[in-house]
């Protein structure tokens, strides 16, 4: 499958490499495909890896990963052109973080709205699935924890899209995918990310994951 990963930050690079390691072809999207991070990622990931503009990447992908700084995301989606996403599954890993009052950050959208819902509104013809937003990038592919892999929480309106994302999650090493419902559940998935983030700023390390205990 051809995967377009919008974003050259840690999340885009880690998930992009995850797709390559599972045999997919990945283009990573950026404002400047000639920039160092994009070039280094392509060099490290071999013949199935390439870089492009946000628009080239969105057009390339049969499936899209959105891994962009939240405050730039509406601009990035406009640059990528909403029509590039028609009918496609979009994995939305973003969190609407506001660092303007220092650290830890706060959610800039909360209550009766979420980044996931905003993305679905900006891309009405896409099938948006919130996923990979409530786990640190170090554990997004082949997560290793003493008690076994953590849960991966997802939400979205399209059942077939969620099934595809769950299959990807299984391939990435998450046997337990927890589907919390429609895209509105992003409100709580983004709040769940804050649980992860608060622990990160409290301890200074990223060796944790939020999961659900079961018996
Ligand atoms: N870091 C984590 O472990 C983690 C975990 C879960 C979820 N998340 C969420 O995942 C998303 C990506 O996080 P990240 O840390 O990988 O990367 P990031 O630094 O939040 O975002 C990097 C991407 O945003 C683009 N960007 C930044 N400012 C821009 C601007 N003014 N105009 C256009 N594009 C701009 C960059 O473009 P260029 O490529 O052109 O530089 C780059 O592709 C965020 O929403 C974050 O909250 C992060």
156 lines ligand 1 (CB under 6 A): no
Tokens of 134: 């409530």
**pLDDT digit string (tens) for 88-118?**
999 999 999 999 999 999 999 999 999 999 9
User: Per-residue confidence at 139, pLDDT binned at 50, 70, 90?
Assistant: very high
98 lines ligand 1 (CB under 6 A): no
135-168 CB burial, b ≥16 within 10 A, e <16: bbbebbbebeeeeebbbbbbbbbbeebbebbbeb
pLDDT at 132: 98
Q: How far is 179 from 110, CA to CA, in rounded Å?
A: 20
209 lines ligand 1 (CB under 6 A): no
- Which residue owns the Cα nearest ligand 1 atom 29? 72
73 lines ligand 1 (CB under 6 A): no
Q: Which residue out of 8, 9, 135, 190 has the highest number of ligand 1 atoms within 8 Å of its CB and is therefore the one to mutate?
A: 9
pTM greater than 0.95: yes
| Spatial contact of 129 and 161, defined as CB atoms under 8 Å apart | yes
**pLDDT digit string (tens) for 48-99?**
999 999 999 999 999 999 999 999 999 999 999 999 999 999 999 999 999 9
107 lines ligand 1 (CB under 6 A): no
State the distance from the centre of ligand 1 to the C-alpha of 147, rounded, in angstroms.
Answer: 30
- Which residue owns the Cα nearest ligand 1 atom 14? 9
- Position in ligand 1 atom list of the atom nearest CA 14: 16
């Amino acid at each position: 499958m051809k995967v377009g990963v919008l974003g050259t930050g840690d999340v885009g690079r880690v998930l992009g490499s995850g797709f390559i390691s599972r045999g997919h072809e990945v283009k990573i999207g950026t404002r400047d495909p000639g920039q160092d991070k994009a070039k280094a990622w392509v060099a490290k990931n071999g013949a199935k890896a390439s870089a492009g503009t946000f628009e080239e990447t969105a057009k390339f992908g049969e499936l899209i990963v959105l891994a962009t700084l939240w405050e730039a995301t509406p601009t990035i989606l406009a640059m990528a052109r909403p029509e590039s996403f028609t009918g496609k599954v979009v994995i939305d890993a973003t969190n609407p973080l506001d660092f303007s009052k220092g650290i830890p950050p706060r959610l800039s959208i909360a209550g009766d709205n979420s980044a996931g819902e905003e993305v679905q509104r900006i891309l009405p013809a896409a099938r948006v699935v919130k996923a990979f937003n409530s786990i640190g990038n170090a554990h997004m592919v082949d997560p290793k924890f003493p008690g076994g892999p953590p849960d991966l929480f997802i939400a979205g309106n399209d059942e077939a899209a969620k099934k595809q994302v769950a299959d990807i999650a299984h391939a990435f090493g998450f046997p337990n995918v927890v589907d919390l419902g429609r895209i509105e559940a992003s409100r709580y998935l983004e709040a769940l990310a804050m649980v992860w983030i608060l622990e990160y700023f409290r301890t200074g390390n990223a060796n944790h994951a939020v999961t659900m205990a079961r018996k």
